[in-house]
Structure 1
Amino acid sequence: MIGTEEFWALIEASAAATAAPDERLAWLTDRLAERPADDAVDFAWRLDEARTRADTWRLWGAASLICAGLCSDDGFHYFQAWLVGLGRATFERVVDDPDALADVPEVRRLAGRSVDAWDDDEWPDWEALDYVAERAYERITGTVDGVDDAAAARGRELGVSPDPTDAEWDLDDPAELRRRYPRLATMFPLPAEEDEIGVGVWETARP
């Protein structure tokens, strides 16, 4: 069984083994594939639990500010996985106070640069972390796409998109972004103020 402590130990051990995202994923998949199939399901379960804690409008707003408004449902889902990949201490601090992302080195390296200039590996998303448990489960059992069914049989439907339960607010409101994230707002451009016809826009775009 993989509990919460071991889940975070595996995430952090992968970062200690290699800094390359793809190599981290391979490392995690190899470690899980050496274990019983239930452990791969446990890993997916623990990732889902962590995501649930990070699934807030408070954190979505911070992610959107960093990414110049380019943070769709999928984008925020992958952002949550990226945040998990930073390790438990950073995850806990940022979930408690999203403006603490201003202290994260991976975020600070993005400040002052257009999103057009970010390399793919620099984007704060880690979609492929979702595939680790699936790939390990397939290697163990020979069953493709079996983790979701196995988790459901144990009483948990794994989330596939954000579903925040805290109070929703306008993530494109410059004044609100400045109030909620005073530190991040000094590092990343705020959305353009509403023009004369009342349409607010973000000034940059991801290719």
Structure 2
Amino acid sequence: MTDEAFWQLIGRAVEQPGDRDEHAEWLTEELTRLPLAQVVDFAVRLAAVRARADTPELLAAAHLIHAGSCSEYSFRSFRLWLLTLGRETFDAVVADPDGLAGVERVRALAARPMREWSAQDWPEWESLDFAAHEAFDESTGRDCALAEELARLGVADSTGPVPPGDPVRLPRLAELFEGATVRG
């Protein structure tokens, strides 16, 4: 599977009607139609893309957006949510996490108190993590088959916590969410 095919699948999933869980279900169905090697390729690319977003700067951005509380698990899901923004925006915010302040969906979050966010507003896409696994398991008839295949290939399917570094400064995002925290 090429990068282009990966991003096209993500884009088509996001365009489907329904919520993010339904988008992931659609993606799972699409992946079951592909040869197993392409399902593995999708999972490998997903792990690589998620790893690109595993930076102290994006962790700081997630903390700001989540009002200072972003667990390792929430950060993993946040990085998957970044894919819903599309390839171009994803690449831009990986290069400059403070650029999230210019993303309309992020600005919409900052405009409302967190307690008013719906389940679909939250910047996370946990169910994306399971799409390739479910498709692979369904196609092979074996549980945890993709995790075993990824381990055999030496692909880390998860990342650990981002090590602390120098304080991260995201002035535009901090200004945007400082007001949201006061209102919330």
Taking structure 2 as the reference length, what is the TM-score of the superposition?
0.90
Q: Deviations over 1:71-114 (max 9, x none)?
A: 11111111000001221011001000001111212211111322
Unaligned runs of 5+ in 2: none
Tell whether 2:59 aligns with 1:43.
no
Distance 1:162 1:18 in 2: 33
Alignment CA distance shift 1:155-1:162 (3 Å): closer
The number of residue pairs the alignment matches comes to 184
Alignment CA distance shift 1:19-1:88 (3 Å): farther
Distance 1:112 1:22 in 2: 25
Structure of higher CA gyration radius: 1
Distance 1:57 1:204 in 2: 27
Q: Deviations over 1:106-150 (max 9, x none)?
A: 211111322222111111011110000011011111111111111
Aligned ranges for residues 196-207 of structure 1 at < 5 Å?
none
Tell whether 2:77 aligns with 1:88.
no
Matching residue of 2:4: 5
Taking structure 1 as the reference length, what is the TM-score of the superposition?
0.81
Matching residue of 1:28: 27
Matching residue of 1:128: 127
Matched AA of 2:108: R
Unaligned runs of 5+ in 1: 171-175, 191-201
Kept after mapping to 2: 8 A contact 1:73/1:162: yes
Distance 2:74 2:156 in 1: 20
* Identical columns (%): 40
Distance 1:76 1:146 in 2: 25
Moved over 3 A (4+): 161-165, 202-205
Alignment CA distance shift 1:129-1:69 (3 Å): same
Compare the two structures and name the one with the higher helix fraction: 2
Distance 2:154 2:61 in 1: 32
Match of 1:187 among 158, 162, 176: 176
Distance 2:82 2:6 in 1: 14
